[in-house]
Amino acid sequence: MIRKVEISHKTIIFTVVFAVFLWFLYSIRDVIFALFASILLMAILNPLVTRLTKFKIPRGVSVFLVYVLVVGVLGATIASIITPLVNETSGFATGLPRYLESAGIPAFLGKETTSNLLSQLVQIPGQVLTLSVSFFSNLVMVIGSLVFAFYLLLAREKLESQLSSFLGEEKGKRVCKVIDSLEFRLGGWMRGQLLLMLAIGLATFLGLVLLGIPYALPLAILAGLLEIVPTLGPIIAAIPSIIIGFGISPFIGFAAAFLGLLVHQLENYLLVPKIMEKSVGISPIITLLALAIGAKLAGIAGVFISMPVLITSQVLLKEYLSSKD
């Protein structure tokens, strides 16, 4: 006997509205990304702005000074490294097959496996460079994020009173508590992650230069960026420099492997406990899962926004569950 399934009008309306809502979110994804970037930037810079205001500097002036400092340092850094980075990345892509041949990788792994490995390795620096160029080429999004973050920093001090007047005192305090938690968790994680990336990248660059391994700049930037991947990141980042090292000589190859091990130990036993001790405390398994999902959905950009999205979701879920108690 065939049973008749009835679907209520409310279910149909809800399904249609939900589908339209998802389509709307997808159509304004660039705006959502810019808004999220603004909130993240506010969370990173607010502690520095607050520290300046303790010296009796007006908040507006403090925000302006922090912006000038950050934009100046970032702009000077990008301007100084962009030309050698492009040149060395191009040299890395064209020169890696020669180093693979010199290191005897094709004879060890087979030509087909080596070809697949090569295609993956040479794409990584290029993809990172392409992502960076495409991000900064979208001036509307970048400027919009910076301007909105500027106003968020200006209004941050009066946020609780403004939310209380708009939502009511009780709801305003709850929303402000969530924002405080997001700012602490997101800002703490991002500041710690940036320090880790800088430290690992600098240590790798100095080590590669001392060993005389070419393409030190893109390899060091790759090591810094892959620091976001727990445990596996430093190991993956060390592979190209080890291959190039063995392509030069066995001694340089073993020295490059030792450098990778040294940087990995430096990260695990010194930098992470010191820098990230007050961070989010998310397990490596959950982190790897979030990174994998982000990479599947949005490529390299998804990798870099997956952790902030995970932290935000964690804070919101915790607040939702606590409100049910």
pLDDT single digits (tens) 149-191: 888 888 887 777 777 777 777 777 787 888 888 888 888 888 8
pLDDT greater at residue 254 or residue 318: 254
pLDDT for 254 equals 92
Whether the predicted pLDDT of 72 surpasses 80: yes
pLDDT for 11 equals 72
The gap from C-alpha 198 to its chain's centroid, in whole angstroms, comes to 13
Distances (CA, A) of 258 to 207, 254, 263, 265: 10, 6, 9, 10
pLDDT for 264 equals 84
Mean pLDDT, range 238-263, rounded to an integer: 89
Whether the predicted pLDDT of 209 surpasses 70: yes
Whether the predicted pLDDT of 255 surpasses 90: yes
Per the CB < 8 A criterion, the answer to whether 95 and 103 are in contact is no
Instruction: Name 310's Cβ contacts closer than 8 Å, sequence gap at least 6.
Output: 282, 286, 287, 290
Per the CB < 8 A criterion, the answer to whether 135 and 142 are in contact is yes
pLDDT for 259 equals 92
Most confident of 47-61, 91-105, 147-161: 47-61
Mean pLDDT, range 28-36, rounded to an integer: 77
Q: What are the phi and psi torsion angles at 5 (to 5°)? A: -100, 125
pLDDT greater at residue 271 or residue 310: 310
Mean pLDDT, range 184-213, rounded to an integer: 89
Mean pLDDT, range 43-62, rounded to an integer: 88
Per the CB < 8 A criterion, the answer to whether 191 and 44 are in contact is yes
The gap from C-alpha 95 to its chain's centroid, in whole angstroms, comes to 28
203 — pLDDT class (breaks 50, 70, 90): very high
Using alpha carbons, select from 264, 265, 218, 271 the residue that is nearest to residue 241.
218
Q: What angle in degrees, to the nearest 10, is found between the helix axes of 284-324 and 169-211?
A: 170
User: How much of the chain exceeds pLDDT 90, in percent?
Assistant: 10
- The tokens describing 202, both together, are 């600098």
Whether the predicted pLDDT of 110 surpasses 90: no
pLDDT for 275 equals 67
286 — pLDDT class (breaks 50, 70, 90): confident
Least confident stretch, 11-25, 92-106, 281-295: 92-106
The three-point CA angle 57-59-61 to 5° equals: 70
The pTM of the full predicted model, rounded to 2 decimals, is 0.75
- The tokens describing 157, both together, are 């001090």
What string of DSSP letters covers 40-52?
A: HHHHHHHHHHHHH
Using alpha carbons, select from 141, 184, 139 the residue that is nearest to residue 42.
184
pLDDT for 8 equals 64
Per residue in 215-248, pLDDT tens?
899 899 889 888 887 777 888 888 889 888 888 8
Mean pLDDT, range 48-68, rounded to an integer: 90
Per the CB < 8 A criterion, the answer to whether 210 and 117 are in contact is no
Cα–Cα distance, 287 to 53 (Å, whole number)? 36
81 — pLDDT class (breaks 50, 70, 90): confident
Mean pLDDT, range 68-72, rounded to an integer: 88
Instruction: Report the largest interatomic distance among the alpha carbons of the chain, rounded to a whole angstrom.
Output: 81
Least confident stretch, 133-142, 196-205, 242-251, 307-316: 133-142
pLDDT greater at residue 11 or residue 64: 64
What count of other Cβ atoms lies within 10 Å of the Cβ of residue 214? 18
Distances (CA, A) of 179 to 161, 186, 281: 13, 10, 19
208 — pLDDT class (breaks 50, 70, 90): very high
